Amino acid sequence: MLINFDAGPAALPKEVLQQASASIVEYNNSGLSILEIPHRGKLFEEILAEANSLVRELLELDSDYEVLWLQGGGRLQFSMVPMNFLAPEATAGYIDSGHWASEALRNARLYGDTLILGSSRADKYTYIPEWEHIPAHLAYVHFTSNNTIYGTQFFGFPHTEVPLVADMSSELFSRRLDYSRFSLIYAVAQKNIGPAGVTLVVIRRSMLDRQKRVLPGILSYKDIAASNSVLNTPPVFAIYCSLLTLRWIKAAGMEAMERRNREKARLLYEAIDRSSVFYGVARPAHRSLMNACFRAHDERHTQAFLDFARERNITGIKGHRSVGGFRASLYNAIGIGEVEQLVQAMADFEAGL
Ligand code: PMP
């Protein structure tokens, strides 16, 4: 098998893939494949209940929060958040820390006014911008806590009474945080949670009553919560795989997961910093623990290193097409040994020049 550093769809733990494969043939001696079980039956009810309770447990959230499983990816959340919570005459704050953050902002403008509280666009999103004072009248403040394309991450969050909404797609379950500071968190599954096709939303119950316009049920957090994520046929298999990953994270423990993620990032960034071939792109204080972005000083070394790494079974390290260079995604399923192999490949490539 290849070592997959792709930003998503990303590597999943081997145990998860093995259990998911076995369940495709037959789920838990039920006589049915996981792909065949009814979405309103007891088997799926149990899967959903366990997944929801693990999400709360791992994020240390109480029953004040609803856990929802939606479709439509991160993109739909960019619209659903303002559709639900931004009235036409109201204003929402956005922190423009990268491509996905600015896409979220662009979508919000379809529904109401927006205020950019900080932006690092002019510097190619190489750092997390500082944010201005947050006016109390804002409907919410939205930010992208980890910028997948640029390899930057928030290590502090605004202190405000205004509800905080965070796109945590490329980092959820990678570190311990006080998640109760957020009113809504969303994360696509295909990075740290499971296969593409499902998006996890964690929302404070009091937000559900703040819906600002009449919406079809499938676009309303309130209606989806009232149906316990089974308003229509949910992606049963994607949710099941997410449950398997959540169990795997629980078995390791969030603290251990975070320690391992910090160690992986340290190994890779140290290798980048001591190299004379490669250099890091993001401002060191804002370097993401999940997506490490780096480049070669000499452009000719970019394709050469991609090929060199591929010969060592390393894949998925090509930077996003909009920025080039390299990006190694160090999500939970990537082990320290795999990062060591990448670091070794970088050293050997450099030695062979
Ligand atoms: N938010 C972030 C932080 C992302 O990295 C991505 C995709 N890479 C998205 C949103 C968009 O997700 P999707 O493709 O599922 O719409």
pLDDT tier at 41 (50, 70, 90 boundaries)? very high
Asked about 100 being catalytic, the answer comes back as yes
**Which superfamily does CATH assign the domain made up of 253-351 to?**
Aspartate Aminotransferase, domain 1 (3.90.1150.10)
- % of the chain residues with pLDDT over 70: 100
CA of 323 to the centre of ligand 1 (A): 16
Atom 12 in ligand 1: residue holding the nearest Cα: 74
User: pLDDT tens digit string along 236-285?
Assistant: 999 999 999 999 999 999 999 999 999 999 999 999 999 999 999 999 99
Residue 1's CB: how many other CB atoms inside 10 A? 7
Q: Is the CB of 167 under 6 A from ligand 1?
A: yes
Instruction: Ligand 1 pocket test: pick from 102, 152, 185, 188 the residue with the most ligand atoms within 8 Å of its Cβ.
Output: 188
Whether the per-residue pLDDT at 146 is higher than 90: the answer is yes
Which ligand 1 atom sits closest to the C-alpha of 76?
Answer: 16
Please spell the DSSP secondary structure of 242-293, one letter per residue: HHHHHHHHHHH-HHHHHHHHHHHHHHHHHHHHH-SSEEE-S-GGGB-SSEEE
Q: Is the CB of 152 under 6 A from ligand 1?
A: no
User: Averaged over 181-205, what is the pLDDT?
Assistant: 98
- % of the chain residues with pLDDT over 90: 99
pLDDT tier at 105 (50, 70, 90 boundaries)? very high
Residues 293 and 325 sit within 8 Å (Cβ to Cβ): yes
What residues does 288 pair with on adjacent strands?
none
Q: Is the CB of 197 under 6 A from ligand 1?
A: no
Whether the per-residue pLDDT at 59 is higher than 90: the answer is yes
Tokens of 127: 């750092």
Q: Is the CB of 8 under 6 A from ligand 1?
A: yes
Atom 10 in ligand 1: residue holding the nearest Cα: 74
Q: What is the pLDDT of residue 132?
A: 84
Which residue intervals of the chain bear CATH 3.90.1150.10?
A: 253-351
CA of 53 to the centre of ligand 1 (A): 24
pTM comes to 0.98
Which residue intervals of the chain bear CATH 3.40.640.10?
A: 14-252
User: Averaged over 83-110, what is the pLDDT?
Assistant: 98
Q: From the candidates 96, 167, 222, 264, which is the catalytic residue?
A: 167
Residue 64's CB: how many other CB atoms inside 10 A? 11
CA-to-CA distance for 295 and 346, rounded, in angstroms?
Answer: 12
Domain 14-252: give its CATH architecture: 3-Layer(aba) Sandwich (3.40)
Asked about 191 being catalytic, the answer comes back as yes
Which of the 8 DSSP states describes residue 138? -
Residue with tokens 């591929």: 310
User: pLDDT tens digit string along 136-145?
Assistant: 999 999 999 9
Which ligand 1 atom sits closest to the C-alpha of 147?
Answer: 3
Query: Which residues, in sequence order, are CB contacts of 1 under 8 Å at separation 6+?
Result: 313
Residue 232's CB: how many other CB atoms inside 10 A? 11
Atom 11 in ligand 1: residue holding the nearest Cα: 74
CA of 153 to the centre of ligand 1 (A): 15
Residue 43's CB: how many other CB atoms inside 10 A? 17
Q: What is the pLDDT of residue 290?
A: 98
CA of 245 to the centre of ligand 1 (A): 19
CA of 73 to the centre of ligand 1 (A): 7
User: What mean pLDDT value characterizes the chain?
Assistant: 98
User: pLDDT tens digit string along 120-130?
Assistant: 999 999 999 99
